[in-house]
Every structure is written in structure tokens, then in C-alpha cells.
Amino acid sequence: MDKTKLISKVNEALAEEFEIEVSTLVPDANIKDTLDIDSLGLVDMVALVESLFGVKIQANEIASILTFENLYDYIDRNIKR
């Protein structure tokens, strides 16, 4: 999967799960602020990413994923191709 498709797939899934407009998901936006979630919501984001891409975000790594760009890059680095 190329990165453009990956980003599109992530955004569509997040928009549906967290009930927000896809247009608000811009690369440098803060994830928690944009999705209006707390640490519990992040649990659902992690589960969503794992179910979509088979990529498990480790608990000690989630703190470094602050923006959507961070998230796209993390998945892109760890996805099995």
C-alpha cells in the first residue's frame, strides 16, 4: 500500500469511528484535540489501527505519536509489505 492510500484509509476509519469530518484530519493536527479523545479514546485508535493494518502500536510508543503525520509514519514504518 502506498502512503497516499494508507493516509486515506486511516482518515476514513478515524472519521467514522470518532464521528468527525475527514477534512479536519490534517497531517500536523494534534490527534487527541482533533478527535476529541482522552487516553481511553487512544485505546480505541490503537485497536483500530491494529485491526486495519496489523500494526500494533506499543504502549510505550503511543506517547510519541502526537500528530496524524506521526501516526501515518508509524504505520508506514511498521506495516508488513
Q: Is 36 in the site for another protein (CB under 8 A)?
A: yes
With CB under 8 A as the contact rule, the residue among 46, 65, 71, 75 that binds another protein is: 46
- Residues binding another protein: what is the number (CB under 8 A)? 14
Report if residue 51 touches another protein, rule: CB under 8 A. Answer: yes
Helix (H) or strand (E) holding 80: none
Q: Which of 50, 24, 25 is nearest to 42 (CA)?
A: 50
Judged by the rule CB under 8 A, the positions of this chain that interact with another protein are: 17-19, 36-37, 40-41, 43-44, 46-47, 50-51, 56
